Structure formats: C-alpha cells, structure tokens
Amino acid sequence: MTTPRISVIMPVYNAERYLEESIRSILNQTFTDFELLIGDDGCTDRSVEIINTFKDHRIVVIRNEKNLGIANTLNKLIDAARGEYIARHDSDDIAQPKRFGKQIGFLATHPEIGVCGTNFNCFGSKKRRMFMPAQDAEIRTYMLVNNPICHPTVMVRKNCLTSKYNQLQFPAEDYALWYELSKGTKLVNLQESLLKYRWHDSNISTTSNPKQVEAANAVRATIFKETLNHQITEKETQILNQVVDRQLTSFADLDFFEEFLLKIRSKNKETAYYKEEALQQRIFRLWTSACFKFKGSSLFKKISTYLKSEIFSISDFMHLIVQRIR
C-alpha cells in the first residue's frame, strides 16, 4: 500500500444534512494523493449510511463506540494518519477544488512553515468573505486578540505536531493548538479563499458561544503570560472582548483600553517576543477599531481622541489604508 502525501481528517457527529456535499468536495480535489480519515463519533443519524454510499478506496472510517468529543476524535485520526501532511475538514463545509494543491504546493517550497491556513468565505445564514492574518509575525500578534487560523482550512506537517488537541480546552482547542505549535514552527494563511464555511444554527461557534468565549479567554491568558509576562486582568479581558465585538460604550473604557494597549507595547520591549513593527500594527488596528466602532458620542470627539493618542502614527494609518484597498 502506497503512503499518501496528505491525510485528511474529518470528525463526524450527526452531520447527515450536509455530509454528502462535504465529502464530495474532498474527493473532487485536483490534488488526489490523499487518504480521507472519517471519524464516526457515535453518530445516531444517517451519517454512517451516507458515508457508506461512497465507494472510494481513499476513504477510511474510524468509529468510536461512544461519543468522545471533537478533540479526542481528532487525536485518534491523527494517530491513524499516514500522510506527510494532515489537512482538517469539517463535515458541513465545502473545500474549493484546488485547496489541497495550493496548500501542499506552498508548503513544499517553504520548509520553514509548519502550519498553513487560508482565507475563506462564509455562506448559508451568514454570508461574508473572511481575511485572515497572512504572515507568521502578524499571526502571532493576532493570537493576542483571537484565533488566527480557521480550523477547517488548516494543513499541518505531521512532523510539526509536537502537541495534540486537548478536549478540556473545547471549543477553543484549535486556538490553543496553534499557539503550542507556534513554539516550534512558523505559521501562515494563504490569502486565497479556499474553503466555503457553512454558517448555520448548529455551528459550534453558534451553539457554544458563551463557552467558546470562556475557553478563548483562557487560551489568551496563557499567551499573555508566556509571551509578555503579563497576567491579563478580568477587566482587561472584558474590555478587549468588547472591542472585538464592537460593544464598547464609554470614553472611560476607551481610555482604559488605550492604557492597556500601551502596556502591551511596553511589556514587549521587556520580553522582545513579538516583532516590534508587527505588534505596533496590531495595536494600531485595535486602537482604530476601538475609536470608530464603539457606540455613542460624536464623530469629532472620536477623531480627536484617536489622533491625540501616543498609539497613532501616520505610517501605520497609511499601511492600514493600503491593506483595506487591496
């Protein structure tokens, strides 16, 4: 039996509604040297029946006797994977036909990169084109804010998987894993939309939202502690989440957030973990978002506060404008 270049790992739990279309998008890839490992995580609907309709030698089904959860199922699939590269795919998403070819082509010519995600398009109940941070330095600073890689877009070199998923960190187990892997390799997001991410009421990101926020906060706290030697406070976490969710409502909170951003910059001068330019651009983006997307007050006051801050710089402003034009 020949060894496939890629092992595609797909956990499945009661996914009958979209499963056939999702599997077909993998089997129709222009790059064909892969195995598709499907983890039946104790399905009780027609999912297994749908899987069995496909007569393709590349499909391998691994069944759990009971529901183990996504992280534990993914770890079983990783253990069974024979490929040099491991690609994630979810049972309700659609991979663009050239996804694997584009990712493996990039990784083959960039040996320093161990983790490769992509941009993606949301479809279904939410329609939006999503742009992810591109290069390693940018991705690392993005981790201070949120998950930098869309889980079902990722392809990883198997020999870079020095850590695995932790079910206790669900539903932020992927966020935690990218941070752990970043300690030993570089990360990138291809700036092409190579996945159609289905948005619907059963999404984990929808059904587990409060738990997801809590889990992501815990991962972020670890990152702040280990990279900046800073124990992020409950209020700093709360205000940062409000900025990300566009829920900031007062200038007092805006002033607090400005002090927090300046503290991040100061802490990095001590630890020198983040590239200074990349961190400043991330801080500037956060400051811009905080000033112009919070509710209430006049535009004039927002602009005045924005420009007077020590964070503001003309060069970062021009860089932000150029990126948005692109």
At 15, which CATH number?
A: 3.90.550.10
Determine the longest span between alpha carbons in the chain, in angstroms.
68
Q: Is 219 a member of any domain? A: no
Residues 58 and 192 in one domain: yes
Distance CA 22, CA 44 (A): 19
Q: Are residues 67 and 192 in the same domain?
A: yes
CA distances from 188 to 10, 114, 161, 211, 290 (A): 22, 8, 15, 27, 26
- What gap in Å lies between CA 204 and CA 219, rounded to an integer? 17
Query: Using the 8-state DSSP alphabet, how is residue 200 labeled?
Result: -
Question: Is residue 124 assigned to a domain?
Answer: yes
* Element housing 111 (H / E): none
Residue 279 lies in a domain: yes
Residue 171 sits in the same domain as residue 23: yes
Please give the pLDDT value at position 123.
95
Same domain for 171 and 302, yes or no, is no
Question: Does any domain span residue 212?
Answer: no
What token pair was written down for 254? 């805006």
**Matching residue, tokens 């700093």:** 236
Residue 177, amino acid: L
> Cβ distance 91 to 17 under 8 Å?
no
Torsion of CA 173, 179, 182, 188, to 10 degrees: 80
Residues 120 and 30 in one domain: yes
For residues 267 and 137, state if they share a domain: no
Instruction: Please tell me whether the peptide bond between 210 and the residue prior to it is cis, using omega within 30 degrees of 0.
Output: no
Considering the domain architecture, whether residues 176 and 41 belong to the same structural domain is answered as yes
Last residue of a domain, one of 155, 174, 207: 207
Looking at the structure, do residues 243 and 184 belong to the same domain, yes or no?
no
Does residue 216 sit within a domain?
no
Pairing state between β 128-130 and 59-63: unpaired
- My answer on whether 251 and 191 are in the same domain is no
**How far does Cα 51 stand from its chain's mean position?**
27
Q: What pLDDT is recorded for position 76?
A: 97
Phi and psi angles of residue 13, each rounded to the nearest 5 degrees, phi first: -140, 105
Q: How many domains does the chain have?
A: 2
Burial of residue 325 (CB within 10 Å: 0-12, 13-18, 19+) is exposed
Same domain assignment for residues 109 and 200: yes
Do 178 and 308 fall within a single domain?
no
**Cα–Cα dist 95/99, whole Å:** 6
Neighbouring C-alpha atoms within 13 Å toward the C-beta of 46: 7
What is the rounded CA–CA span in Å between residue 153 and residue 133?
Answer: 13
Instruction: Point out the domain boundary residue: 207, 240, 274.
Output: 207
Residue at 233 is within a domain? yes
Residue 237 domain boundaries: 229-325
First to last CA, the chain: 46
Q: 275 — phi, psi (to 5°)? A: -65, 130
Q: Is residue 237 part of a domain?
A: yes
* Mean pLDDT, each 10-residue run in order, the chain (326 residues): 94 97 98 98 97 97 96 97 98 98 97 98 93 97 97 97 93 97 98 95 63 95 98 97 90 94 98 97 95 81 91 85 63
pTM: 0.94
Instruction: For residue 154, list its beta bridge partners.
Output: none
Considering the domain boundaries, does residue 223 fall inside one? no
For 124, phi then psi, to 5°, come to 100, -130
Given 173, 207, 241, the domain boundary residue is: 207
3-state secondary structure of 20: helix
Whether residues 151 and 41 fall in one domain: yes
Q: What is the pLDDT of residue 209?
A: 83
CA distances from 25 to 43, 94, 131, 185 (A): 21, 6, 22, 29
In three-state secondary structure terms, 91 is coil
Question: For residue 253, which of 298, 296, 210 has the smallest C-alpha distance?
Answer: 296
